[in-house]
Amino acid sequence: MHTPVDHQEQYKGFRVSLRCSGQRGRWEVSAVQIAHDSGREPPLFPRRRLPGRSDSALGAIERGMAWARAVIDKLDPALDGTMPV
């Protein structure tokens, strides 16, 4: 079993925390959490595992971050900074 890899990234006012775990050359996102940067609000949902596996820790991180960005983008289109006229 590989040592777990933790990754944190900021995106549109939210903090995304990922933990990736690997076994036998296959990596998965074993925990993902999205919370507002202010820290005053609870996370959007409890930590959760994402389905699917990748060949590398970097691949798992990229997949997890793509999922988290999609969730955040769906929250409020105004976060994109593009307001319809």
> Residue by residue, what is the 3-state secondary structure of the chain?
CCCCEEEEEEECCEEEEEEEEEECCEEEEEEEEEEECCCCCCCCCCCECCCCCECCHHHHHHHHHHHHHHHHHHHCHHHHCCCCC
Q: The pTM is what?
A: 0.82
Share of the chain above pLDDT 70, in %: 87
Identify the band that residue 42 occupies on the pLDDT scale cut at 50, 70 and 90. confident
Identify the band that residue 15 occupies on the pLDDT scale cut at 50, 70 and 90. very high
Side chain identity, residue 9: E
